[in-house]
Chains A and B, each alone.
Chain A
Amino acid sequence: MRRYVVRRLLLLVPVLLGVSVIIFMVLHLAPGDPAEIMLGSQATQADLNRLRAELGLTEPLYVQYIHWLGLVARGDLGRSIWMKRPVLTEVLGRFKATLVLTGAALVLSTAGGLALGILSAVRPNSLLDRLSAVASLFGASMPVFWLGIVLMVIFALWLGWLPASGMFAPYGGGDLRDLLAHLALPAVTLAAASVTIIARLTRSTMLETLGQDYIRTARAKGVVERAVVLRHGLKNALIPIVTVVGVQAGYLLGGAVLTETVFAWPGVGTLMVQGILARDFPLVQGCVLVVALSFVVINLIVDLLYAWLDPRIRYE
C-alpha cells in the first residue's frame, strides 16, 4: 500500500505543474496589457507602471511564471486589486463557506443516491425505480441555477419556510440552526443532479452484484435478506460507487459557483465571479487555484480509497 501511495503522490507533480501553468496563463490569455485591462482606460501612467512592477509584467513570460510559482509555493497569492487585501486570506475565508455547501450537498446526494439506488435494485421496475429513472433524466436536463430559483420562490418567497439567501441571518443569527436553515435550499439545489447520478449507478452496480453466485449461496445458507443486500451486495458494489461519488464531489465543487450566485452564498464562487467582473486577476487566480487544488486532492483521496477497498489495484 505504501508503494502505491508514493507512486500516486509522484503522479501528482506533473498534474500540479500543468494546473499551475493554466492558472498562470489565465492572466495572459487576453490580448493586450493586463495592467491596462485591470485598471481600465481611466488609469494614469504612474498607476499602470506601479501595477506592472507589482505583477512583474515587465519580465519575460517564463521568468514571470517561475517568480509567480515561487510566491504561490510560499503561500503568497498576491494582493487583490479590488479589495486591497491579500488574496490568500480572502479566498480561504470564503472557501470555508464553499466547503460547508459542497460537503452538505455531497452528504445529501450520497445518502439519497445510495438509498434510492439500493431500493431500486432490490425491486427493479417498481414504481420507485421508474420514478428514479425519470428523476435522473430530469436532473441531467435541468439548469441547476433555474432549479435554485424555483425552489427559492416556492420555499422562501411563497411559503416563507426558509430564508432566501445568505449564510446567516443579518440580525440575531449565527448559530447552527440558523446555518442549517440557510443551507437547506442551496444544498438541495446543488445535490439534485448528483443524487440521481449516484442512484442510477448504485442501482446498476447492485443489480449486477445481486446476480452473482455468492449472493445465491448466501441466500441458500439462510442469511437474512437485509444482510445479503448490505453486507454481501453493497460491500462488493462499492468501488464503482466510490468512483462516481468522487467524480460528483468535484462536480459539486464546480457547480457550487452557480448555486452560490443564486443564493448569494458567501463562498469562493461568488467571490470569483465578482473578481472576474471587476477584472481583478490575482483574486480570480487565487480562487481558481484553491478550488483546483482541492479537486486534485479529492481525486487523490478517491484513488487511495479504491486501493484500500480493492487490494488488486495496488499490485497493477
Chain B
Amino acid sequence: MSVRVAGVADPVVRAADTSRLRRGIGRAARRDRFALAAALVLVGAALVALLAPWLPLPDPDALDTPNRLRPPLSPGHRLGTDEFGRDLLARLVWGARVSLLAGVATAAAAMAIGVTLGILGGFYTGWVETVVMRLTDILMAFPYILLAIAIVAGLGPGLRNAMIAIAIVGFPIYTRLVRGVVLSLREREFVEAARALGATDPLILGRHILPHLLSPVIVAFSLDVGAKILATAGLSFLGLGTQPPTADWGSMLATGRQFVVLSPHVVLLPGLAIFVVVLALNLVGDALRDLLDPRTHER
C-alpha cells in the first residue's frame, strides 16, 4: 500500500507547480524589464570578474607614478589611473572578483549557519531552542556594523577576518526567518501524518520541511548578497578589510578619497560599481520575491 503524505511529493502537483512557475517567470519578465536588465548586469559582472586573468588588461598592481591620476579616456587607460598610476579599469575588474566573491561567500556562510540554527531552533523545543534564540537575541542586541567592526578588532584587520565577522553578524536574520517558518510547519497536518507513519526527524526535516524553506531563503539570500557587498566594502573603507595593494571596491574608495578634489573619478568609479551591482541584486531580489511569495502577487 502506498500512502502519499505531502502534496510536494506528488508528481502531478509538482508538474502543475513547475508550469505555474514558468508562466510566472514569463509574466514577471514582461512586467519587470528592469529586473531582466539587472540580471543581465549581474551575469556580465560575474563573467568579467571570472575571466579577469584572461582579459586584455594591464597588471592591476603595476605602479606607473609618472602617469598618476590620469582622467578617463586617457591613451592606454580607458578609465584613467589612480594615485600610483595603476590602471583603474584593471583594478575595478580585479576588485570585482574580491567584492563579488566576498558578498556571495559571506551571505552563503551566514545562510548556512542561520538556516541550520533556525531549523534546530524551530523544530526542537527545550534547551536547543533556548540556546539558539538567546544567541540570536544577543547578536541582534548590537548594531550590525558595530559588531562586525568589534569582531574584526579582535581577529585583526584583513579580508578573511572581515568576511568571518560579516558572516557571524549576518546569520541571525536567517535564523529568525527560518525558525518562524519551521514553527508554523511543525504543527501542520502533513508533518503530523509523516510522523504518524513512522518517519524519522531527519526524513521529516529533509522531505517535508526543507522544501518549504527554499523560496523564503532564496529571496532573503538574493537581497542579502547586496547588503554583504556593502558591508565588506564598508569595512575595507575603514581600513579593516582588504589590505593594500589588493584591489577591492571599498578600499579603492578609501585610498582615492584624498585625491577626490582634483580627480573625482578615482572615487566615483568604484562607488558607482558597488552601487550598480547592489542595485541590480536588489532588483533581482525584489522580482524573485514577487515571483516566489504568493502574498505579494496581487501588488
* A interface residue numbers (CB < 8 A to B): 14-15, 18-19, 21-23, 25-30, 37, 137-138, 140-146, 149-150, 152-153, 157, 250-251, 253-255, 257-258, 261-262, 272-273, 275-277, 281, 284, 288, 291-292, 295-296, 299
Contacts and interface: CB of A to CB of B under 8 A. Distances in A.
Query: In the complex, which range does the number of interface residues on chain B fall in?
Result: 35 or more
B16 interface: no
Contacts of A138: 275, 279
B143 A291 contact: yes
The 4 closest A-B pairs by CB, nearest first: A254-B143, A29-B154, A18-B138, A146-B271
B260 A23 contact: no
Interface stretch (B180-188, B205-213, B231-239): B231-239
A250 B147 CA distance: 12
A93 B132 CA distance: 37
B143 A273 contact: no
Contact of B138 (A15, A250, A276): A15
11 contacts: A22-B147, A27-B154, A37-B156, A141-B279, A143-B230, A251-B144, A257-B146, A261-B238, A275-B153, A276-B152, A276-B153
A21 B141 CA distance: 12
B141 A25 contact: no
Given A146-B271, A258-B234, A295-B142, A28 B279 contact: no
B149 interface: yes
Contact of B157 (A26, A276, A284): A276
Interface string B135-178: 10111011111110111111111000000000000000000000
B141 A15 contact: yes
Query: Majority SS of interface residues in chain A?
Result: helix
B150 A26 contact: yes
B76 to A, nearest CB: 27
A292 B141 contact: yes
Contacts of B156: 30, 37
B149 A257 contact: yes
A277 B141 contact: no
B283 interface: yes
A140 B282 contact: yes
B154 A288 contact: no
A146 B274 CA distance: 9
Contacts of B283: 137
Contacts of A152: 260
Nearest to A293: B141
Residue of A146, A255, A258 ringed by the most chain B CB atoms within 10 A: A146
Contact of B154 (A21, A26, A142, A258): A26
Contacts of A140: 226, 278, 282
Contact of B145 (A19, A23, A254): A254
A276 B240 contact: yes
B233 A143 contact: yes
A258 B141 contact: no
B267 interface: yes
B257 interface: yes
A39 to B, nearest CB: 15
A284 B151 CA distance: 11
B253 A14 contact: no
B138 A146 contact: no
A193 to B, nearest CB: 10
Contacts of A254: 142-146
Nearest to B150: A288
Given A18-B134, A18-B137, A257-B145, A277 B257 contact: no
